[in-house]
Structure 1
Amino acid sequence: MNKEAVLTELYALREQVAGVRDSAVASVDGMLIASDTDKVRADALAALAAAALGLGKSTSNEVGMGELREVVTRCQSGHIVVYAVQDHSLLVVLGDEGLDLARLHLESRPAVSRLAEILG
């Protein structure tokens, strides 16, 4: 695994999408791989994002809506978006209230594909 390549993807999302505040990549069991965070504890973010992804996958399976792509949580002060990176990893992005969610989804899909290649 090339941690610098993962960090490059995280930095690019912050640059390309208005409102991105923090991001991280983790395994589906919540182990932090890399992070671009300022004010949040990256290890806690990784663990909680894994829990959100797991719940989303379980719900998706239960209702028969196919493979989970992302989990979006809207909060009073912004958004938490968790993307599945194949079956083994995840990308979590925190955005402020001004997050351009449509742009994030547009930019994250190729980023998720590149992360999948990097993480193998």
Structure 2
Amino acid sequence: GVEAEGVAALTAAALGVSIRMTDATGRGGFRELLVRGGSGYIATYAAGSSAVLTLLAEDRINVGRLHLEGRRAGARIGELVDAALERVERPATVPRTAPPRPSTAPNRALPQRPT
């Protein structure tokens, strides 16, 4: 099996090199990385401003479809992560309302069942 922690660590290392390469060559910000091995692919996609999505695929995968779905999923995950981070960093300033005041109507008890 594949260890998630190991893949995450290697993704971080590959991402660092990828970002440096795009910066050094003037190709803009990181968008995606595709690695092809003898038994399949590892694809990493930007997911918002602070996350990435890494997918493992078998060698018989349709790479065009992998990119289509990976980009789409990365964009959606990015929207969710960025929105969550924005809420944490800038909590909404909702005016607090005072608790409801006790009713001025006479206190009426609930009807009792005869025993």
TM normalised by structure 2 equals 0.67
Please tell me the residue identity of whatever aligns with 2:8. A
Query: Is 1:75 the counterpart of 2:37 in the alignment?
Result: yes
Match of residue 85 from structure 2: none
C-alpha distance in structure 2 between counterparts of 1:41 and 1:109, whole Å: 23
TM normalised by structure 1 equals 0.64
1:6-45 aligned within 5 A: 39-45=1-7
Percent sequence identity is 38
Match of residue 99 from structure 1: 61
Count matched residues: 82
Per-residue Cα deviation, 1:41-80 (whole angstroms, up to 9, x for no partner): 1111111111111111110000001122111111111111
Displacement of 1:86 after TM fit? 2.5
SS at the partner of 2:60?
A: coil
Which stretches of structure 1, 4 residues or longer, exceed 2 Å deviation after superposition?
A: none
Structure 2, unmatched stretches of 5+, are 83-115
Structure 1, unmatched stretches of 5+, are 1-38
Per-residue Cα deviation, 1:93-116 (whole angstroms, up to 9, x for no partner): 111111111001111222111101
Taking only aligned residues, the RMSD between alpha carbons, in angstroms, comes to 1.1
Residue in structure 2 matching 1:114, options 72, 76, 84: 76
Based on CA coordinates, which of the two structures has the bigger radius of gyration?
2
SS at the partner of 1:98?
A: coil
Residue in structure 2 matching 1:52, options 14, 27, 41: 14
Displacement of 1:87 after TM fit? 3.0
C-alpha distance in structure 1 between counterparts of 2:72 and 2:42, whole Å: 19
Greater relative contact order (Cα < 8 A, sep 6+): 1
